Amino acid sequence: MSGGGPVAGPDGGLRCPWGLSTEDYVAYHDTEWGKPVHGDDALYERLCLEAFQSGLSWLTILRRREGFRKAFSDFRIASVAEFGPADAERLMADEGIIRNRAKIEATLANAKVLAGWGAGDLDGLIWSHAPKKPGRAPKTTADVPAVTPESTALAKALKKAGIRFVGPTTAYALMQACGLVNDHLAGCVSREG
């Protein structure tokens, strides 16, 4: 992020600068990013996609999301938990996803761990790390942190529970994407909407 403030879009509404850089980002920014996400499978999907994004642009993941959903049984934890070594090899050959063995193996291992949890446990663990008090609206992208004490605590809690490939930065990206924090800039049309 460059550090700029909100920018007027084609409709005249102010948006976070990144949210206007491509049509894919406009739709994601306006309808999805920062909106509360609940449900174990939905949060598992976001957790997996954030892990796959590590080291890449989010746009790369966003443009392959349907491929990921197809490859990983719509991120249904119970289904992915049944994947075995042959599935891992199939995924390594799937051009519709990011073919990174460590990330694929983490996705499969995490499903196996989460399959042993009770309904709502992942949702409860993640949402228990939402900040108790909402922060002030960032004025520029430079005001948006990459890591917070809450994201560090969430990453530690997930790792302690056996979840792989999640650090404080990935945890914070998850918190932003799933609405645990609202990092839409002050004045952004999506901040209140």
Among the options 32, 58, 105, 117, which is catalytic? 58
Among the options 18, 25, 28, 44, which is catalytic? 28
Q: What phi-psi label fits residue 106: left (phi over 0), alpha (psi between -120 and 50 degrees) or beta? A: alpha
Among the options 25, 33, 45, 50, which is catalytic? 50
Q: Among 32, 12, 8, which Cα is nearest to 20's?
A: 8
- 82 assigned to active site: no
Structure tokens that stand for 43 in this block: 């949060």
- Alpha-carbon gap, residue 185 to 86, rounded angstroms: 45
- 95 assigned to active site: no
- Output DSSP code: residue 89: H
- Alpha-carbon gap, residue 51 to 53, rounded angstroms: 5
- 28 assigned to active site: yes
Compute CA 114 distance to the chain's CA centroid, rounded to the nearest angstrom: 17
Residue numbers annotated as active site:
28, 50, 58
